Structure formats: C-alpha cells, structure tokens
Chains A and B, each alone.
Chain A
Amino acid sequence: MPTPRFTFHQPQNLEQALDLVGMYRTNGKILAGGTDLVPKLRAGLMDVHHVVSLNRVPGLNRITFHEDDGLVIGAGARLADVALNPEVMKHYPGLAHACSVMATTQIRNMGTVAGNIVNSAPSADTAAPLLAYKAAVILVERGGRRHVPLTEFFSGPGLNVMEPMEIMEAIRVPSPPRRSGSAYLRLSARSKVDIAAVGVAGFLALDMDGVIIEARLALAAVAPTPLRCPEAEAMLAGQKPDPQLLTRAAAACVRACRPIDDVRATAAYRRKMVQVLAGRVIEQCYQTAERGDA
C-alpha cells in the first residue's frame, strides 16, 4: 500500500470541528487518539482525504464525577487517564480495570475511551463495562445534540448509529447506588498486551437484605457487537445468589452470545469461557456490593 495522503485539520473549538466534519462528511474522519484510525489508514482500509483532530479542542479530555450526575468522560480522555482516575477506580472498577489491561501501555497513553466506543469493534474492552454501567453517549452536530444509550449505539462489527456529521462529545455514566458492585474480566491468548477473546462485565445493586435489586451483565468479543444479557439479568433480579443461580445466570449469558471461530479461539471455547467468566463476575460484583457503601 502506498502511504495514504490526506489533509490534517486541527480545529481550535467544537464549532470549528463540527464545521469541518460537516464539510468533509463523505471523505473525512475524526481523530482522537488515532490508535485505531491510523493503522486502518496505513492498511488502506478506508478512502480518507481529510482527518479532523479533536486534540486542540479545549475541554474534551475532561473526566468529571458528581454524586448526583455521575461520570462524564470527554471524547479526548485517554484510556490511561481513565484507568488511573481515583473516582473511576472507586465507583467504576470494571471500567478502570478494562482501561488498565486492554492494549498496550503506549496505546493506553494515546487511545481514548470514546474512540474505543466509536471504533465499535466487537471486542472493544471498554464497551462491556460501560454497557453494564448503563452509559449513554452524547453526540453533537451543528445545531443539535442527542443522548444515545449505549445499548442502542452498536449496530454491527465496526458499525454504529452515528451520523457522518456527528462528533461524540462525551460519555455519561450514571452514579452507582450504594450497596452496588461491578467488575470486568477478560481472557486473551497472551496474558497481557492482546485483544480480548472473551470479556464479561457485570453490575449488581443490592437492597439492605442482600437481595439483588438490579443486575446488568454485558459481553464483549462474543457477538457482532458488545451486548447486554437481559435474560440473565432478569434471573438475578429479586434473588440472592447461590451457586445454582450463578450457573443458570451464566448459562443465560452463554445463550445471549453469538461467537465466531478465529485465530484466538473457537466459538465453542468462547461459549465455555462466557459461562466461566460470567459466574466469576457475578460473584465478584456481589461480594463488592455486600461489602458496603461503594
């Protein structure tokens, strides 16, 4: 492949960025960390004439948390910054974990959470915990802004509902209630520095008696898109977990997935591992939730 040639734009504010994105909607791409975009450009996978960088737009790299409003992750927030943010580590341990184990140190220092979501890989590590946390994305375009729940965002491998003129401004994650717990576990062929072969995220909220009020489970790398597991979630709601329930709920997660064979693992192994990891995730969530007021 000849090296791709394109014009590189560095807008100074969101309005300029939106103008450029609108202007080049047919042959332009947005760059945040560039860790997915640049390799795709190099491989000649896309015909791009204009690259619009968000890196000079002020305020986009913010990570803020309020007890009432929850967490806001700006489009420019790097994976490494999210991973090490004390509020994220405290209130969203599953997300912090995903951001700290995915990819490599170099990629985590450049890549963004928003980029991971926009790239919409089936194996996107941050997608599973964000789904479990009931996150929504804020999409802006010239003269408009919309909130899209993450459950409605992905539409296929590398595909999502974003319009060509839209920019993802931020990701909003609701504040977790007291007595809740969450976790993310992943499995890959190499212990570190590898794409997830299977990822499972969970969130449980308990009442004072330890009964599950709300359960949310999400999977990555086992279907065309990251996805939630409504059947398993419904099984857990209103229950106190016991080994049998855990096994049944994990089995429901297996039913939700639609894995493929590839060089990392076969579909059969992926199903098996969803069972194993889902069981572990639910247990971990429950233990953290029971421990207290997090």
Chain B
Amino acid sequence: MPKIQIVGRSYPQIDGMEKATGRTRFASDIKLAGMLHARVLRSPYPHARILNIDTSRAKALPGVKAVVTYADTPGIKFGPRSDDWTIFADDKVRFCGDEVAAVAAVDEDTAEEALELIRVEYEELPFVESPLEALKPGAPLVHEDHPGNVAAEFKVEAGDVDRALANSHVVCEESFYTNQTYQAYLEPMGAVADVDLAGRITLYAGNQIPSMIRVPYAKALGLTLDQVRVVLPDYGGGFGAKMETNTHLVAMLLAQKTGRPVRHFNTRHDDFIAGNPRVPMYIDIKLGADKEGVITGKEVKVIGDAGARIVYSQIIVATACYRVDSLYRFKNVRAKGITAYTNTVPTSCFRGFGNTQATFVLESAMDILAHKLGMDPAEMRVKNSIGPDSVSVHGWKINSCGLKECVEEATKMSGWAEKKAKKRPLKGIGLSCCNHVSGNRAFAREFDGGAGIVRIGRDGRISVYHGESDMGQGQKTVYAQIAAETLGVPLDWVSVMQVDTDISPWGFGSFATRGTLMGGNGVLAASKDAFIKLAQVAADMMESNVDDVVCEGGRFYVKGSPDKSLDFKEVALNATDSNHGSPVMGTGFYDPPTVLPDPKTKQGNISPAYPFGCQIAEVEVDPTTGKVTVTNFVAAHDVGRAINPMALEGQIQGGVAQGLGWTLMENMVTNKGKVANANFLDYLIPTALDMPPVEPKLIEPYEPNGPYGAKGIGEPAINPTMSAITNAIYDATGVRITELPVSPEKLLAEMEKLKGSHEG
C-alpha cells in the first residue's frame, strides 16, 4: 500500500485564501432578487403580559410589506428538545429581547422605522433573574405549566458515594459559580428565506445543524419535513450558539406571508440579548481522596439557568453532572442537576457543553486536594488518570487515551517541576486536565454516525458531499484530506461541497466535537466506495485484479509495478463514458459503536472515542491592582492521529484565547432583567494583545474508531483553560477562585482578606 501522504500534513484551510482576501460570500452577504429586509420588535421587559398589539400604523408605512405577530403564526408550540417555544410571544413576554412582532420591508431602514410605529401595551409582571431565586417557593413563574420553575432534573449515581467520602483521608467541599458568557462569533445569527409557489421554503442560514434544524422549523410552521430545505453558506463562527433560533423562523414566516425572499440578521445588540449564551451554573462539589491521593468519591449538585425557554440547557446541565467522570478512574459518583427557568435570555451550547463548567470545578477541587495532601498536582492527575482500553464508571469505553502523556509533555514543556520547586512571589503556575467526547449519542438519539457522498466527474474532479457544518474550524480541509488520501490524488483535486439538504447526506452537524470523527468517517466510507468503483475500471483497463490496484499522486498502478501507471483522470473519463455519463458515485456511512445511556442507570457509551488534554498556565499578579497577566501557556492534547496539525494547533490556540477571556474578563451582566453590556465596548473579549504565547503539543495515539485514527479537538481546547489559570492564581496568591470571571477587583479583595486573616 502507498504510505499515508496527505493525512497528517499541515495544510492551510482550503478556503483560507478566499476568506483572507475577502472573496468568500458569507451568509450575511447573500442577496436574492426582490429580497425584503426584516427587523424584530423585542420585549423591553423581562416579564410582562401583552394586553394589546397595534400594528396598523406600521402596516401603513410605505415600503412595509408585512407585519407579523403571534396571531400570524400557526400557534404551534415547539422546541429543539422541549415544547416551550413559540415564534412570537403569545400572552406574555418572558425575557428582555423576547420576540413580539416583526416587519418585512423594502430596506432595513424602513423596517426599523416601522418597528417604532408598532404599539404594544404591556402589563409588567414580577420577574426572576437568578436560578437560585427561581427555585424558591413563591417565585414568579416563567412558564405556568412548570411549577417551581423547574425545567428539568437529572440524576446519576454509581457506587457508594457516602461510604467513599466518609472513608476518605481528605475531602474537598466547595461551591463554585460559572457565569454567563457570549460566543462572540464574528457574524451575528441570521438567514435569508425563500419560498417557491408550492410553499416549499429554502433557508440560507449559517448554522451548525443544517439537517436537524429542519425538524423543529417544519413543526413550528406546520409544514412537513420535505417542505423545508436548508442551504449552508459559509458563515462567521458559531461556537455552539448557531443552532435553532427564532431569528431564522422570523425570516421564514415573513417569506411565507410576502411570497418574497426575506433577509433577517440580528443586530449585534439583538444577538447579545436574544442569542444563545452559555448556561450559568452553580456547582457544589464534594471530592474525596485517600492518603495516596487516589480519588475515593465525588458528589456534585448543579443548578443551571435555562433562561426563559429551553434550547439545550437541560442536556448541558446533565453533561455537567457526569461527563467529567470519565477523566479519572472514578468508582463512586453521584450527581443531581436542576435546570431552572428564569426571565433572562435563553441559554444554550457554548464550546464545552457543560463539561467546561464541570472541568473548572473538578480541576479546582483536584488542586485543592493535592494541596491538602502536600502532593504535586501533576502527580495526582497521573495517579488517577483513566487509561487506554478501559471502561469508565458510567460504562464509557475508552479506546485510545494519551492523558498521561499529555501531563508529562505539558509539565516538561512548561518547566513545571523547577517552577513548583522554586516559588517566586506573585508568580504562579497551574495545571488542569480534561476529557471530552467525539460525538454525543445522548444528544443525537436516533443514530449518531456520519455519511458521505463522493462524486468523481468525467473530468476527474472529486466532489465531497457531507451533512456537517464548517463554521471556520477547518472541517472542509480535513474532509478534503481524507478523500484525497483515500483516493490517492493531490489535495487540490477535491472540492468539499456546500451542504444542501436536497443533495447532501443527512448529517447531525457540528457539535460535540464530532465533525472530524463522525463526518470524517462518513467521508472516508464514501471515498472507499468511490475508490473501489474507480479502481475496478482501472483494473479492467490494466487487465489486472481490482485488489491489486492502487492509486498514488493521481496515478493508478498495479502493486509492484509503479512504472506502468494510468492517469486518474483518464480512468474517470473512461468510467463515465462507459456508463453513458453517470459519474462514479461513492456513498458510505459510519455506524459508531455507541450505546444510548440507560434512562435510569445512565450506563452507556456516548461516544466512539474520547479526547483528552492537559494545559498549564503561568501568571503574574499585581498585588496593588489585582490584575492578572497570563505570561505563558502550554497545551498538550490527545487528538488521536492528527489529520491537519496546523488546524489543530489553531483550534487549541483559539480555545485557550476563549478560555482566557472567560477567566479574566467575559461576563454578561444582567441588571433589572436587562443585559447591561450588550455591545463589544462593554462586553470585553480578549484581543491579540491580551494573549501570552500559547504552545500547543499534539499527542497522537491511534484511535481505532477514528478516520485514519483521528479524534476531535473543538471543545477540549477550552475545557481545562479556566482552571489552569485559576490554579495558577492560587499558586501565585493563595486565593482560591470559585467564581468566574476573576476581575482585578475581586482578586484584590480576596488577597486583602487573606492578608488580613494572616495578620490577624
């Protein structure tokens, strides 16, 4: 067999030059003939009854083509994983930013002007901002049919936690809070919707789940699934947020009403107040260890804030309850999660999906235990590390696992041992590990594989069709590499096609760090199928056996005699001609060996492969201002076999930047039910100037379930960052951070408290 040539090599993204030179047409660049522009009127109150809506003056404004409210919708309740959504608020608004009405007009200015002419009479109601308040008896109800504001509950238990904790040498008992943050993608959410005469809608929307998104949208509009087609343009990032949103449905509804294409994109302000920010969580943990530092048991209680409706928050809270249990060799664990409704912006997926919150908590607790035991925190991680070919406490089957190697490499690269030995005042070093998934069976319940179609044209051009979603993370390039490698052709012979649900396979999309493994395996299977079909033609042309035919660098030859070769394009031409124009079509799918968790015991195996990582941060703290500067960062990640090392390193650096932002500055502030900093002047994200050098290291154990041995990287890249930094802050100052973010003010106050307690 020819040796692996394209997989494992660093390539710039195949669409990178187009993007860098401004040639890419993003979702918000789409213009259709006759297109109208939509704007949404949003609730100014966190909780209010709608007494009356008068749209007559808005409708009379020249240039306005439609004004719609709840009364213009089919009135069907729906939701991605619930039925608490309506396209517009019905009897009451439940958060500041809730959709009340929308306008389609000939241009955005007219639409904006029309919004100002809509009169809504509200009766303000008492509201609840915090999930802790929401769960108290007598709290205002967000949804009348959910008493106590409980949106969902989750429980999991394995082993005997009480006994394990009682018999521990040390126990860490601590309460943590992780705040609400915004995904801050470059392009706000939005779509262009177009309707044909048969009423079939085509939705051009940058989103992470182009196939799945059709299901609730069809339901909401009272359509059958085949009446909703989604086309996926290039789009400006998602980080978990770009899934179902009323922003799309507004465009679809207005397109239905006007019969014309309608464009609706959130303004940045709207995207802040009505997007899908991270689920804030209160997490209490009890973690025990024996004298040697071996973990005995863990108990967590999670209270998560769903906001005013459920997007995916209940699954995110469940994830926070138990995914991290496959990082170490846990035997006794118990978790309870409550997802509570509040009158705030609905929360949802954000890179890490609850495992970021849980990792921050667990890895802080591990640090606390290591200090209690006088043990090297790195050593304690290695001692408890789950290993390859093992089964976790919830039945998850770990195949490849380079966690120990990640810790070893990261500590070596950062000079961990020397720096821990030679403590310098106000300088600190901190370490954190993480695990994650590459696909989440509990999330994609019907099946959780991936599929592909590979078409080889008469000209030899290769088109790869998939159903996932490249939002800038480099998926297209990885798929092109897999196809090129499997077919034995140069990378630039391959095009990765736009997802179009009329053409592409049904894919679950890009979330749960599943793109490379699931979609990649689908592309691999289709590529193999296409190869066999084309190789048969080549074998016939060379009068050989198909099993003996290989292709390398775009030339077919019989094993052992590479001198006598056939041009791939010549074979493709021959194949198409002999089939009267039919191209070579390879199709294939991947059926992952996952097991849906048992509803009661939660025993299962949610992913075919599990990535791991270890990150180490170094910080300096200014004792007079409380300001933290991250001075150095190393990140070692078990990614399985690397398909595109350059893209992996970029993902790691991006994850660390996002995690650093969360740790040190990012915070959605809600004041009297309103987001108080719904703009980039007041909601701070880190800039390039805030970043230390981030040195990535790829640990590459071969993953038997991955395409060419690969696992994913998207979410593990951020999971350990927060606790790496806060553990370093502890090392520098002795202050244990239990709430994110760490503002200079908060740290300074804690440092002064600590100083006072030492002196007093």
Are the C-beta atoms of B682 and A263 separated by less than 8 Å?
yes
Are the C-beta atoms of A190 and B743 separated by less than 8 Å?
no
B625, B676, B681, B686 — most chain A CB neighbours (10 Å): B625
Partner among B110, B625, B689, B745 whose Cβ is within 8 Å of the Cβ of A192? B689
Which residues of chain B (71-113) have a CB below 8 Å from chain A?
108-110, 112-113
Quick check: which of A66-74, A124-132, A265-273 contacts chain B, the rest being far away?
A265-273
A187, A190, A192 — most chain B CB neighbours (10 Å): A190
| Binary flags per residue of B99-129, CB closer than 8 Å to A gives 1, else 0 | 0000000001110110000000000000000
Are the C-beta atoms of B690 and A191 separated by less than 8 Å?
yes
Q: Is B669 an interface residue (CB 8 A)?
A: yes
Q: Which residues of the other chain, B, contact A265 by a CB distance below 8 angstroms?
A: 743, 745
Are the C-beta atoms of B687 and A276 separated by less than 8 Å?
no
**Alpha-carbon gap, A269 to B626, bound state (A):** 10
Classify chain B: how many residues form its interface, as a range: 20 to 34
| Binary flags per residue of A236-270, CB closer than 8 Å to B gives 1, else 0 | 00000000000000000000000000011110010
Are the C-beta atoms of A272 and B748 separated by less than 8 Å?
yes
Partner among B676, B689, B748 whose Cβ is within 8 Å of the Cβ of A263? B676
Q: Which residues of the other chain, A, contact B603 by a CB distance below 8 angstroms?
A: none
Which residues of chain A (266-294) have a CB below 8 Å from chain B?
266, 269, 272-273, 276
Q: Which residues of the other chain, B, contact A272 by a CB distance below 8 angstroms?
A: 748
Partner among A1, A189, A264, A276 whose Cβ is within 8 Å of the Cβ of B112? A1
| Binary flags per residue of B676-689, CB closer than 8 Å to A gives 1, else 0 | 11000110101101
**Alpha-carbon gap, A3 to B743, bound state (A):** 37
Q: Closest Cβ of chain B: how far from A77's Cβ, in Å?
A: 24
Q: Closest Cβ of chain A: how far from B251's Cβ, in Å?
A: 20
Q: Closest Cβ of chain A: how far from B660's Cβ, in Å?
A: 11
Partner among A3, A263, A264, A269 whose Cβ is within 8 Å of the Cβ of B109? A3
Are the C-beta atoms of B743 and A189 separated by less than 8 Å?
yes
**Alpha-carbon gap, A235 to B285, bound state (A):** 53
Classify chain A: how many residues form its interface, as a range: 10 to 19
Q: Which residues of the other chain, A, contact B629 by a CB distance below 8 angstroms?
A: 191
**Alpha-carbon gap, A194 to B627, bound state (A):** 15
Q: Closest Cβ of chain B: how far from A259's Cβ, in Å?
A: 12
Q: Closest Cβ of chain A: how far from B271's Cβ, in Å?
A: 16
Q: Which residues of the other chain, B, contact A192 by a CB distance below 8 angstroms?
A: 687, 689-690
Nearest CB in chain A to that of B114: its residue: A2
Are the C-beta atoms of B690 and A2 separated by less than 8 Å?
no
**Alpha-carbon gap, A216 to B45, bound state (A):** 47
Partner among B113, B625, B665, B744 whose Cβ is within 8 Å of the Cβ of A2? B113
Q: Which residues of the other chain, A, contact B624 by a CB distance below 8 angstroms?
A: 276
**Alpha-carbon gap, A264 to B689, bound state (A):** 19
Partner among B625, B682, B689 whose Cβ is within 8 Å of the Cβ of A276? B625
Partner among A190, A263, A266 whose Cβ is within 8 Å of the Cβ of B669? A263
Which residues of chain A (1-59) have a CB below 8 Å from chain B?
1-3
Nearest CB in chain B to that of A276: its residue: B624
Q: Is A195 an interface residue (CB 8 A)?
A: yes
**Alpha-carbon gap, A273 to B748, bound state (A):** 11
Are the C-beta atoms of A266 and B625 separated by less than 8 Å?
no
| Binary flags per residue of B737-752, CB closer than 8 Å to A gives 1, else 0 | 0000001110010000
Are the C-beta atoms of A187 and B625 separated by less than 8 Å?
yes
**Alpha-carbon gap, A272 to B677, bound state (A):** 24
**Alpha-carbon gap, A272 to B622, bound state (A):** 14
Q: Which residues of the other chain, B, contact A194 by a CB distance below 8 angstroms?
A: 684
Q: Is A193 an interface residue (CB 8 A)?
A: yes
Q: Closest Cβ of chain A: how far from B114's Cβ, in Å?
A: 9
A1, A192, A264 — most chain B CB neighbours (10 Å): A1
Partner among A187, A190, A264 whose Cβ is within 8 Å of the Cβ of B687? A190
Which residues of chain B (618-641) have a CB below 8 Å from chain A?
624-625, 627, 629
Which residues of chain B (463-490) have a CB below 8 Å from chain A?
none
Q: Which residues of the other chain, A, contact B686 by a CB distance below 8 angstroms?
A: 190
Q: Closest Cβ of chain A: how far from B461's Cβ, in Å?
A: 42
**Alpha-carbon gap, A263 to B745, bound state (A):** 12
| Binary flags per residue of B28-53, CB closer than 8 Å to A gives 1, else 0 | 00000000000000000000000000
Q: Closest Cβ of chain A: how far from B755's Cβ, in Å?
A: 14
Q: Which residues of the other chain, A, contact B112 by a CB distance below 8 angstroms?
A: 1-2
| Binary flags per residue of A173-191, CB closer than 8 Å to B gives 1, else 0 | 0000000000000010111
Are the C-beta atoms of B687 and A193 separated by less than 8 Å?
yes
**Alpha-carbon gap, A1 to B113, bound state (A):** 7
Q: A190-B684, A193-B687 are in contact. Are A273 and B625 (CB under 8 A)?
A: yes
| Binary flags per residue of B366-385, CB closer than 8 Å to A gives 1, else 0 | 00000000000000000000
Are the C-beta atoms of B676 and A266 separated by less than 8 Å?
no
Q: Closest Cβ of chain B: how far from A112's Cβ, in Å?
A: 19
Q: A2-B112, A190-B665, A191-B629 are in contact. Are A266 and B690 (CB under 8 A)?
A: no
| Binary flags per residue of B716-760, CB closer than 8 Å to A gives 1, else 0 | 000000000000000000000000000111001000000000000
**Alpha-carbon gap, A272 to B744, bound state (A):** 12
Nearest CB in chain B to that of A187: its residue: B625
Nearest CB in chain A to that of B689: its residue: A192
Q: Closest Cβ of chain A: how far from B157's Cβ, in Å?
A: 41
Q: Which residues of the other chain, B, contact A2 by a CB distance below 8 angstroms?
A: 108-110, 112-113
**Alpha-carbon gap, A148 to B8, bound state (A):** 68
| Binary flags per residue of B609-625, CB closer than 8 Å to A gives 1, else 0 | 00000000000000011
Which residues of chain A (189-215) have a CB below 8 Å from chain B?
189-195
**Alpha-carbon gap, A273 to B109, bound state (A):** 44
Q: Which residues of the other chain, B, contact A269 by a CB distance below 8 angstroms?
A: 744-745, 748
Nearest CB in chain B to that of A273: its residue: B625
Q: Which residues of the other chain, B, contact A1 by a CB distance below 8 angstroms?
A: 112
Nearest CB in chain B to that of A279: its residue: B624
Which residues of chain B (654-676) have a CB below 8 Å from chain A?
665, 669, 676
Which residues of chain B (307-350) have a CB below 8 Å from chain A?
none
Q: Which residues of the other chain, A, contact B113 by a CB distance below 8 angstroms?
A: 2
Q: Which residues of the other chain, A, contact B684 by a CB distance below 8 angstroms?
A: 189-190, 194
Q: Which residues of the other chain, B, contact A189 by a CB distance below 8 angstroms?
A: 665, 684, 743-744
Partner among B625, B690, B745 whose Cβ is within 8 Å of the Cβ of A190? B690
Q: Closest Cβ of chain B: how far from A158's Cβ, in Å?
A: 15
Are the C-beta atoms of A263 and B687 separated by less than 8 Å?
no
Nearest CB in chain A to that of B684: its residue: A190
Q: Which residues of the other chain, B, contact A190 by a CB distance below 8 angstroms?
A: 665, 684, 686-687, 690
Nearest CB in chain B to that of A4: its residue: B109
Q: Which residues of the other chain, A, contact B665 by a CB distance below 8 angstroms?
A: 189-190
Q: Closest Cβ of chain A: how far from B365's Cβ, in Å?
A: 28
Q: Which residues of the other chain, A, contact B745 by a CB distance below 8 angstroms?
A: 265-266, 269
Q: A3-B109, A192-B687 are in contact. List 14 more A-B contacts (CB 8 A).
A: A2-B113, A3-B108, A187-B744, A189-B684, A189-B743, A190-B665, A191-B627, A192-B689, A263-B669, A264-B682, A266-B745, A269-B745, A269-B748, A276-B624
- A: residues with CB less than 8 A from B are 1-3, 187, 189-195, 263-266, 269, 272-273, 276
25 examples of A-B residue contacts, CB within 8 angstroms = A2-B110, A2-B112, A3-B109, A187-B625, A187-B627, A187-B744, A189-B665, A189-B684, A189-B743, A189-B744, A190-B665, A190-B690, A191-B690, A192-B689, A192-B690, A193-B687, A193-B689, A263-B676, A263-B677, A264-B682, A265-B743, A269-B744, A269-B745, A273-B625, A276-B624
Q: Which 6 A-B pairs have the closest CB atoms?
A: A192-B689, A2-B109, A269-B745, A2-B112, A276-B624, A190-B684
